[in-house]
Structure 1
Amino acid sequence: MYKYLLVLAPLALIGYFLVGKDEQKKIEVKPKASVIDNQQLRHYLSSQLLDPKTPFKQTISHNSNSYKVNYSTDPKLESFVRKRLRYYRPDKAAVVVMDNNNGNLLVSIGFTRQGKVFDYLLPFTGTHPAASVFKIVTSADLINNEDFDIHDKFKYRGRGTTLYKYQLKNKKTRWQRTTSFDRAFAYSNNVIFGKAAINNTTPEELEDMAKRLGFNDSLMKEIDLAKSTFEIPQTDYAMAEIASGFNKRTQISPVHCAVLSSVVANGGVLQYPRLATNLVDEQNQTVWENEVRKEQVIGLETAKELAELMQGTIKRGTARRTFRRYMSRRISNKLEIGGKTGSITGGFPFGKRDWFTSYAKPKKNLDDKGISVCIMIINYEKWYVKSTKLAQEIISKYYRGIK
């Protein structure tokens, strides 16, 4: 055996020196790129959000290596949003614009009137009562019930914006009024939603729908997005409170709020939001990629009926005044726009929240699912701008010149 080794060893050395430089390059083993995992990226980007004065950096360092971060943001649209926030100067505001086709967050920015400060944390925080925005979840659950029709009639007493126990009783009086469920959605009638939930669904079914639509779940890989919270109601009155959004326990983040509208625009498909699309090393090699994630969470027919409800908010409901001038025949023939308003006092930071979540997509191009816009404005003593107004301006800017 040693004789064979003595013969082969010199031959191997001769073969090495006979190989050309080009061939030597082919057999060289290049070191693998240092891959950054989701946990490391999430820790980095989340730490950047905590500094309101520092925008997302274009490069990060890890293990003595430098990486370029590519974000999903739209600089031109973000610049427009910044200008409008500087103009209106609300006490606090969070603006999220999401591309429904891939989950890209085109804009995710917060603003504080005191000091005219922009920050990147507020849109990702989940300490905000969902208010009537949660009616989207309740409607999706009720529509799943085969015996339920969005045009069903309901009787109620008192103001629709309140929710007292006596209003949930089916007592005949001369002050009773009748309205349909779709109209109750458009005008955000708490009493109708409370009655509809008590009579047509269960706490467990409502919880299941909330989970399907992203509550109590982590929606992002690269950002430590606060989970939106849902608690199972224990009594009929608690069920009415939760279903109508007339409570402070159900909380949501502005990013998740935009996702709710995106599900409707996508025909029941939840596009998971993403802010960082990929990381590239110094050799221009991709070391991490945030793939487009999506999941069918509700049926197509359910999504279509939700879209009809949300369009009612724009055409005749709580957002009609803002969109009346914008929704001319020329625009209404080209864009499908739906939305849901909400308002409640509470949360952290404390204040009166003015919510509006909406979607807008072209009618002629069915493959384009458009954008979703969520505006959350927190007012202290004075109103400076309505959330519906700011959303309408953003939609108008994005689709300016649409044919």
Structure 2
Amino acid sequence: MKYYYDPQNRLPYKKRLRNRCIAIAIFVAACALIGSCIFKSGEKATKPTGFVVNGNDPTATSKEWIKDTLRVDSSIIDSLKEAHRAIKVRDTLTESAAKSLFFGEAKASMEAATEAAPKEIDSASADTAAKSIPENDPVDSVHIKAQKDVFLAEKIDNMLRRFRPMHSAILVVEPKSNEIIAWGETKDYKVQNSPDYFVKGSFPAASLAKTITIAAAMESNRYSLNSPIPDRGAHHTLYKNQLRVPENYSGPTIELQDAYAKSANPPLAIIGMNTGAKRLREAARNLGYNMNFPGGIPGRSVYNPPDSGYGLAEASCGFTEATTLTPLLAAAQVRSILMKQPLEIPWAKDVPGYAPKSRIALDVGKFSENTYYGLRQAMIRSVTNGTARKHISTRNMARKNFNALNIGGKTGSLDGQDPYGRYEWFMGFAQSKDDPSKSIIVVIMQVHDLQGYRSQPACQVAAMIMNYWAHQTLWPKK
């Protein structure tokens, strides 16, 4: 049974954030009103019988209480309105800053309400609002101006400052020339001036290693994109009983291209075990693993599957930290698949020490035309029917741009140690349907705090970059 995605029109991000903040403000004001009622009711109940306010008027107590309550709650609403105006004026505020601003206002206002001191509410709210707005990191535009596509580089820099990933590397490559046209990087939430993560070889490849498995499977001529693979259990797990397939298996199956697109661990592990470690190593060699590159740029990416057993299954589906990958090599792999050419490391003039200064031919083999075609189609399947489908869509891209592009990619996620956190990958491409010479390669690697804040998903960031590039390239201003 097939499911078809019917995207819905959504409001822009800023408007959605504003509406959420307004809803939070209304909710907090309502809670404060209820709290004031309870507080005042309790206070009135503790007064002795026959207590008289304003002469002998028995209703004076309730009137004064209503006036005090309205006065306190109006100050709460006023302070929340001030916070909302501050958010509308400061476009550079991040979502976290907006949330802290509103929650800070609400907390200060509610504390003051319990003390029934309207003047103190206004001052406390103003102090809280001022403290909750984080200071932006100073922007050093030197590394931005040095990049080939300055406008795209500035866009990436703004996104990093807005989304604030703990660690990240963003790489954009022009496939035809294989030149790096824009990049960005963060460490400990701060934007960096040099992309040293590009060449670092300690990042777990996660499910990006599945590219090796289907390449080896198609090179063996035993599998095609539509080959049925036993599909046992959950896709994100890898238990030994999921790998024990009976000889006369008649259970559910999944096509090879869908197993790759949906990043299904057990089916890819079964494929790898049937293909064999030798073919996997040969395919990995063509994709640049276990190689020492000229000048050590990039660092060595490791892929060493055992000859048999559960370790072979782990390596086949990327369910191990032992398989590592550099962002620079990931971009080279996508370019090799898109251009149907042997592997070549992307180069750039403006990042000495982190990328080659010119094109360098590598001593690696080439896949068959059928394998290159299959890899490309499997990556496109990841966007149309797989793990990248949700974010690389009209939710984050203009419909005109999305419909004008062939977009493919592969996602991956796994815990790692250097640096410590949850690794999230996306490597992929966007290519014009009308003019295939217009295309880009996007690689994003993010590391999230396991116990804390997570930035926007890598697929969403990739979609925004592709959308910006398409606006500038496919529809040039007249």
Alignment TM-score, normalising by the size of structure 2 = 0.63
Could you tell me which residue of structure 2 aligns to residue 211 of structure 1? 285
Work out whether 1:335 is the aligned partner of 2:413. Answer: no
Could you tell me which residue of structure 1 aligns to residue 425 of structure 2? 355
Post-superposition offset of 1:139: 1.1
Could you tell me which residue of structure 2 aligns to residue 399 of structure 1? 470
Q: 1:345 aligns with which of 399, 415, 423?
A: 415
Post-superposition offset of 1:118: 4.7
Could you tell me which residue of structure 1 aligns to residue 322 of structure 2? 249
Work out whether 1:276 is the aligned partner of 2:349. Answer: yes
- Contact in 1 for aligned 2:231/2:266 (Cα 8 Å): yes
- Contact in 2 for aligned 1:160/1:191 (Cα 8 Å): yes
Q: Any idea what SS the aligned residue of 1:129 has? A: coil
Task: Kindly tell me the number of residue pairs found equivalent between the two proteins.
Answer: 329
Post-superposition offset of 1:196: 1.1
Query: Residue 387 of structure 1 aligns to which amino acid in structure 2?
Result: A
Query: Residue 468 of structure 2 aligns to which amino acid in structure 1?
Result: K
| In 1, Cα distance between equivalents of 2:201 and 2:360 | 23
Counterparts of 1:115-194 in structure 2 under 5 Å?
A: 115-171=190-246, 176-194=251-269
Work out whether 1:379 is the aligned partner of 2:443. Answer: no
Post-superposition offset of 1:293: 4.0
Post-superposition offset of 1:174: 11
| In 2, Cα distance between equivalents of 1:151 and 1:391 | 28
Could you tell me which residue of structure 2 aligns to residue 228 of structure 1? 301
C-alpha RMSD of the superposition:
3.0
Name the one with the larger strand percent: 1
| In 1, Cα distance between equivalents of 2:357 and 2:226 | 45
Q: 1:317 aligns with which of 386, 399, 402?
A: 386
String of CA shifts for 1:256-298, please: whole Å, max 9, x gaps: 111221111112442321122899xxxxxxxx97246477622
Q: Any idea what SS the aligned residue of 1:323 has? A: coil
| In 2, Cα distance between equivalents of 1:275 and 1:267 | 21
Q: 1:260 aligns with which of 312, 317, 333?
A: 333
Q: Which range moves more in the overlay, 145-154 or 205-214?
A: 145-154
Q: 1:237 aligns with which of 300, 310, 323?
A: 310
Q: Any idea what SS the aligned residue of 1:340 has? A: strand
| In 2, Cα distance between equivalents of 1:259 and 1:355 | 15
Q: Any idea what SS the aligned residue of 1:271 has? A: coil
Post-superposition offset of 1:229: 0.9
| In 2, Cα distance between equivalents of 1:277 and 1:89 | 24
Counting aligned pairs with the same residue, the percent is 24
Could you tell me which residue of structure 2 aligns to residue 305 of structure 1? 374
Post-superposition offset of 1:175: 11
Q: 1:202 aligns with which of 271, 276, 279?
A: 276
| In 1, Cα distance between equivalents of 2:330 and 2:188 | 22
- Quickly say closer, same or farther: Cα 1:308–1:327, change in 2 above 3 A: farther
- Quickly say closer, same or farther: Cα 1:186–1:327, change in 2 above 3 A: farther
Could you tell me which residue of structure 2 aligns to residue 290 of structure 1? 358
Post-superposition offset of 1:218: 3.8
Q: Which has the higher contact order (CA 8 A, sep 6+)?
A: 1
- Contact in 1 for aligned 2:204/2:322 (Cα 8 Å): yes
- Which runs of 5 or more residues in structure 1 are unaligned? 1-52, 58-69, 280-287
Work out whether 1:366 is the aligned partner of 2:441. Answer: no
| In 2, Cα distance between equivalents of 1:272 and 1:145 | 26
Q: Any idea what SS the aligned residue of 1:321 has? A: coil
| In 1, Cα distance between equivalents of 2:337 and 2:173 | 13
Could you tell me which residue of structure 2 aligns to residue 35 of structure 1? none
Q: Any idea what SS the aligned residue of 2:443 has? A: strand
Query: Residue 404 of structure 2 aligns to which amino acid in structure 1?
Result: K
String of CA shifts for 1:322-352, please: whole Å, max 9, x gaps: 1221567643542111000000001311110
| In 1, Cα distance between equivalents of 2:400 and 2:219 | 34
- Which runs of 5 or more residues in structure 2 are unaligned? 1-138
String of CA shifts for 1:344-394, please: whole Å, max 9, x gaps: 0013111100100011112222344x2111101100132111000111111
String of CA shifts for 1:86-107, please: whole Å, max 9, x gaps: 0000111111111111221122
Q: 2:154 aligns with which of 69, 72, 79?
A: 79
Q: Any idea what SS the aligned residue of 2:409 has? A: strand
Q: Any idea what SS the aligned residue of 2:390 has? A: helix
- Contact in 1 for aligned 2:335/2:441 (Cα 8 Å): yes
Could you tell me which residue of structure 2 aligns to residue 20 of structure 1? none
- Of structures 1 and 2, the larger Rg is shown by 2
| In 2, Cα distance between equivalents of 1:89 and 1:117 | 12
- Quickly say closer, same or farther: Cα 1:328–1:161, change in 2 above 3 A: same
- Contact in 2 for aligned 1:354/1:377 (Cα 8 Å): yes
Q: 1:89 aligns with which of 150, 164, 169?
A: 164
Query: Residue 182 of structure 1 aligns to which amino acid in structure 2?
Result: Q
- Quickly say closer, same or farther: Cα 1:86–1:323, change in 2 above 3 A: same
Query: Residue 261 of structure 2 aligns to which amino acid in structure 1?
Result: A
| In 2, Cα distance between equivalents of 1:399 and 1:292 | 29
Alignment TM-score, normalising by the size of structure 1 = 0.74
Counterparts of 1:13-28 in structure 2 under 5 Å?
A: none
Query: Residue 444 of structure 2 aligns to which amino acid in structure 1?
Result: I
